[in-house]
Chain A
């Protein structure tokens, strides 16, 4: 049974795709394929653009995770992390200032911190807030918008969403209930007598952990970047921007764009700047708060790390609260 399943699944997919391709060839006019073919180089360029831009950040994130695995002691975590739900969520949210990672790197790092005993509210708040609450992103937002309202509200709204979501998750006490069963990431088992290792050996082990994690998460970066590039290339962006009027629709369009574009949080402020003229403050703000928390590639990575129910909350709560924030600003300061 096991064996047959393993063989047949790719085969079924190939047959299904083949049938679909034949059907499409017969049903659609040739011109459709010509225009699609012309756009393939655009697709390749956009895809490689997202990938090349994001890979160093993912490498840094997995390296941070590897270093945490090797050097951070569980005892440290229990001693220094606050116990209360609210304080723990707040502490988690600003923990990003110590770990400058963006939304690709933060996911493996959060999982590692959970393994090291980080309380759930803190971990969830860290996951959502760290891509904004870190020195690089604060600086890039400031250089795009200045040290003004946009930066302040971006930080404030992100903090609010992260802490509230962290508190929602605080009803769950056991990290095992929100995380997918963990595979021990590195199979270099540590035996008691080996725990005294040279520094170089520890670094080597940290790198091995990060290699495995890079391969685990990197595939979602690739697939996410392909989806994002595909949507951008084959769905004209103009149609989306054209419907983006009105206090509600403008926010929804910006949220959709944040999700589709899947731009790294370290640079999204420069992209958001391009929308300032045609979109309201609230809409752009929602772009800047939601994008770092949820986009195509991070959604795929969430699914690898968290159980489905947890993924649902991690997407829905930030979505609704970003929408609410955007709407509030649109109605209060039109």
Chain B
């Protein structure tokens, strides 16, 4: 492959990757793939890709023009292999973007108790009021607090999607969220059992907001929160479907 064509090919691939990442950032879908924490890193990546494309596209100076005519470009990666770098863009275009949902639980499993963040996590939970706590906060409380009595009976208001496991009693479902520490690869689902009369009519994977007092229950030998729901409202999928610990 002549050098100039090879460079053109590289440059276009770099631009495609750059635009792909920028598109994800602009549409706000970046957080469907990675933790928001890594946004600055992705932005840096976008800038580097843009600079690299610019360097590749820039007309070669007379100093290195001389070797554009001999055909000994041993540095070239075979063109077919170059195209591999386009696979992420192609997959991103072919598959409509979708955050992890209950289908993913089938391969990743669901947790009712997440031994997630170390020492000082529990103390933080005291600072937010009961109805501001999310699913992760409630599960942490039940993991780390010795004395649960102040929390029992408090009204929880959490959002999540519906997932059912076989070991749940009738009239119950899990209100679940995916937790992402770095990227979708380490995502796993957590869920709180919800007791509600209309539970069996609810559609799997649908997003709901659950409101009701919290009780303690036992599931698989673990102490977990149980929401005795007064209200289960169906809602649109939130823009940020994951929780970040």
Q: Does B123 contact A (CB under 8 A)?
A: no
Contact A52 B87 (CB under 8 A): no
Main secondary structure of the interface of B (DSSP, over half): helix
What is the chain A residue whose CB lies nearest that of B180?
Answer: A49
One of B37-45, B127-135, B148-156, B194-202 at the interface: B37-45
Given the known inter-chain contacts A52-B21, A212-B75, please indicate yes or no for A274 contacting B186, CB distance below 8 A.
Answer: yes
A45 touches which of B33, B51, B80 (Cβ 8 Å): B33
Query: Does A223 make an interface contact (CB < 8 A)?
Result: yes
Question: Does B17 contact A183, Cβ atoms closer than 8 Å?
Answer: no
Please determine whether A261 and B185 come into contact, CB atoms closer than 8 angstroms. yes
B185 pairs with A39, CB closer than 8 A: no
Does chain B have a CB within 8 A of A5? no
| Contact residue among B38, B72, B88 (Cβ-Cβ distance under 8 Å from A47) | B88
Asked if B188 CB lies within 8 Å of chain A CBs, one says: yes
Q: Are B61 and A271 in contact (CB under 8 A)?
A: no
Contact with B along A41-67 (1 / 0, CB 8 A): 110111111111101110110010000
Residue ID in chain B nearest A219 by CB atoms: B84
**Minimum distance in angstroms from A47 CB to a CB of chain B:** 7
* B98 beta carbon closer than 8 Å to chain A: yes
Summed over the interface, the residue pairs from A and B with CB atoms below 8 Å come to a total of 197
B2 CB, min distance to chain A CBs, angstroms: 12
Q: Mark out the residues of chain B between 91 and 147 whose CB falls within 8 Å of any chain A CB in the assembled complex.
A: 91-92, 94-100, 103-104, 106-109, 113-119
**Tier of interface size on chain A:** 35 or more
Note all chain B residues with C-beta closer than 8 A to A52.
Answer: 21, 24, 30, 33-34, 42, 88, 183
Query: Which residues of the other chain, A, contact B183 by a CB distance below 8 angstroms?
Result: 49-50, 52-53, 263, 267
In the complex, chain B residues 177-230 whose Cβ is within 8 Å of any chain A Cβ: 181-188
Contact B116 A273, beta carbon cutoff 8 Å: yes
B100 touches A45 (CB 8 A): yes
Task: Answer yes or no: A236 CB below 8 A from chain B CBs.
Answer: yes
Q: A267 vs B38: C-alpha distance in the bound complex, in angstroms?
A: 10
Roughly how many angstroms separate A186 CA and B81 CA in the complex, as a whole number?
17
Q: Which of B74, B95, B106, B183 has the most CB of A within 10 A?
A: B183
B interface size (C-beta, 8 A): 70
The distance in angstroms between the C-alpha atoms of A228 and B106, with both chains bound, is 17
Q: Are A271 and B109 in contact (CB under 8 A)?
A: no
Knowing A184-B74, A185-B75, the reply to whether A263 touches B186 (Cβ < 8 A) is: yes
Closest B residue by C-beta to A144: B118
Query: Is A53 within 8 A of B117, CB to CB?
Result: no
Chain A residues near B13: list those with CB within 8 A: 215
Q: Are B75 and A55 in contact (CB under 8 A)?
A: no
How far apart are the CA atoms of A223 and B119 in the complex, in Å? 38
**CB 8 Å contact bits of A243-264 with B (1 = contact, 0 = none):** 0000000000000000001111
* Nearest chain B residue, comparing its CB with the CB of A54: B183
CA distance in complex: A264, B45 (Å): 15
Given B32, B55, B74, which contacts A207 in the complex, CB threshold below 8 Å?
B55
Give complex CA distance A324, B113 in Å.
Answer: 30
Q: Are A187 and B107 in contact (CB under 8 A)?
A: no
Please pick, from B49, B75, B95, B188, the residue contacting A44 in the complex, using a CB distance under 8 A. Answer: B95
Q: Are B74 and A187 in contact (CB under 8 A)?
A: yes
CB closest chain-B residue, reference A269? B181
Please give me the residue from chain A that is nearest to B184 by CB atom: A49
Residue A229 interfacial (CB < 8 Å) = yes
Partner of A215, one of B77, B97, B104, B108: B77
A187 touches B3 (CB 8 A): yes
A274 CB contacts on chain B under 8 angstroms: 114-116, 181, 186, 188
Q: Write out the residue numbers on chain A whose beta carbons fall within 8 Å of the beta carbon of B73.
A: 187
List residues of chain A with CB within 8 A of the CB of B103.
Answer: 38-39, 41-42
Q: A208-B56, A215-B10, A233-B107 are in contact. List 9 more A-B contacts (CB 8 A).
A: A41-B98, A46-B184, A48-B33, A144-B118, A201-B61, A215-B85, A232-B185, A261-B185, A277-B113
Q: Which residues of B contact A (CB under 8 A)?
A: 3, 10, 13-14, 17, 21, 24, 30, 32-34, 38, 41-42, 44-45, 48-49, 51-52, 55-56, 58, 61, 63-64, 67, 72-75, 77, 80-82, 84-85, 87-88, 91-92, 94-100, 103-104, 106-109, 113-119, 181-188, 245
